[in-house]
Structure 1
Amino acid sequence: MRSYINAKFSISQSTKDALHDDDKGNFGVAFAFDEPSEREDVFKWMNLEPSEEN
């Protein structure tokens, strides 16, 4: 039963910390603040194309 009530949190101030992390495919929810200097890295980490809409 304990395995069903399980959560993993990875918290950092920079998306660059997660770009080299082996766990980047194991998250059900991702959140990032819009930091202009890291915007391209946020798109890369979330597997999104950089576009006006995104």
Structure 2
Amino acid sequence: MKLLLSNEGASNLTLVRPDALSLLIQTRRAPGKVQVEVMKWLIRKFPGPAKEFLENQV
């Protein structure tokens, strides 16, 4: 039995984007090394807001 997928059928498959809470839960469950990598990526992606956030921490 052969299973053929057309582009039309494949284009209907989409991933559901996780919400913020789901991402935070996944990040908290990840090892510390992975959490640091996520933090570094976010800082590179959003340097302005990261700097502003850190400056406002007392």
Give your verdict on TM over 0.5: no
The structure whose RCO (Cα within 8 Å, separation 6+) is larger is: 1
Higher helix content, 1 or 2: 2
Larger radius of gyration: 2
Calculate the TM-score normalised by the size of structure 2.
Answer: 0.28
